[in-house]
Amino acid sequence: MAVVSTPATLERALPVMDNAEVLRIRNDFPVLNQLVNGQPLVYLDSGATSQNPVSVIEAEQEFYEQRNAAVHRGAHHLAVEATEAFEDARQTMADFIGAGYEETIWTSNATEGLNLISYALSNAGLWAAQGRGDQGLRELALGPGDQIVVTEMEHHANLIPWQELAFRTGATLRHIPIDDDGNLRMDAAAEVIGSRTKVLAFTHASNVLGIINPVQELTALGRAAGALVVLDACQSAPHLPLNVKDLDVDFAVLSGHKMLAPTGIGVLYGRQELLDILPPFLTGGSMITTVTMERAEYLPAPQRFEAGTQRISQAVALAAAANYLTETGLDRIHTWESGLGQRMVVGLDAIPGVRVLGPAAGKERIGLAAFDVDGVHAHDVGQFLDSRGIAVRVGHHCAQPLHRRLGLTATTRASAYLYNTTDDVDRFLEAVAGVRAYFRA
């Protein structure tokens, strides 16, 4: 009997990534083929914004050259083709994260997606109080006595929207603390998440610590409490296989610019039964069924949350990026990047006066490392590395509470992706080794 090859079996059949393959991949990224301060660019800032392969650039360009038109708003040839490309891209992203087509909503970025959920939950309370909408809204509404739970390691995008939701509704915001190594204290999580918890929001992978959080354990605690579970997948979706159904979360967000796509495009996943009863966040054209001078009725998801002209070319390009990652193999990418992350940590640990945040060498992490150089400000470290053609991120990485908990105001972060080689990491480590001597720290 013939054996049918599935995408998973095909991926396992592919060889482990090596430097030779990565150099071929690197040729797909035009921006990487340049000199910075007279030296070949080593780009280690993909945790902030990744670079774009030719296929993604060409996908957006081809849309503008061949089928640029408004979607869902015309019967002419270009409008039909534009709509098909736009909705095909939605299906591609739904498949990429293991979601349903109707559960996949376009946003500008992950931050907008998190704000969308926050404001929709605010509006749920308003609608329920006025007897408007589905009866299920009463269960989603928050008020005094209810709790929202986040973690101490959250990016501001997954903290401030929940602070504001607590302010608007009178709910209480609580957080799961971390230990001195940056790991979530799961013993405390079991105490913090309780019967009054209505929302549990946490990051899949920390943009500072590199830690991959125990999603299933946290989700189980949220489910036991009857809470909505919101996953920030910004640092996981680009780097490792992601299936929102297997993770059993209610909502998840990602940003295209962190996964080889243009800026200005992101995805919100939400369970269908929740999306169809939640009130919209933005209102206007394209998301309505009937409008009178007094009121409007709204379409079901996904259009319910997509008011106005959408990010059409960016969505098409994001789908091309997802295809590039899928064809390369996310399991393979994760394995390669994890190796680069370990190489960073081992190398940084060997440099006197350098403190690495997050898991110790040998423990699982995504391919990034944030670190502090004793006696040298992170901004000076970043400028020193830039003078040697090495691009890294400096600052608090939109995670001030986490840095404060670890006794720091800023760190330097190197984050790798599928186009980085071991030589890139070694050049980076060699440069960091010279920082304290240069600044006479």
Contact 106, 310 (CB under 8 A): yes
**Residues in contact with 161: Cβ distance below 8 Å, sequence separation at least 6, in sequence order:** 114, 115, 117, 118
Catalytic member of 398, 401, 405, 422: 398
Rounded Cα gap, residues 163 and 199, in angstroms:
12
Crossing angle between the packed helical segments 422-433 and 378-386, to the nearest 10 degrees: 120
Backbone angles phi, psi at 237, to 5 degrees: -55, -35
Nearest Cα residue to 212 out of 50, 47, 367, 402: 367
Contact residues for 394 (Cβ-Cβ < 8 A; gap 6+): 378, 379, 381, 382, 410, 411, 412, 413
Q: Which of 417, 45, 401, 399 is nearest to 232 (CA)?
A: 399
Does 398 qualify as catalytic in the annotation? yes
Which of 389, 68, 99 lies closest to 237, judged by CA?
99
Cα separation, 254 vs 247, in Å, equals 15
Question: Residue-wise over 140-165: b if at least 16 C-beta within 10 A, else e?
Answer: bbbeeebbbbbbbbbbbbbbbbbeeb
Which tokens sit at 387? 């003078």
Q: Is the dihedral of CA 205, 358, 381, 391 positive or negative?
A: negative
Strands 228-232 and 288-291: unpaired
Q: Are 279 and 120 in contact (CB under 8 A)?
A: yes
- What CA–CA distance (Å, rounded) separates 318 from 259? 8
- Number of alpha carbons in the 13 Å side-chain half-sphere of residue 97: 38
Q: Which residues are part of the catalytic machinery?
A: 398
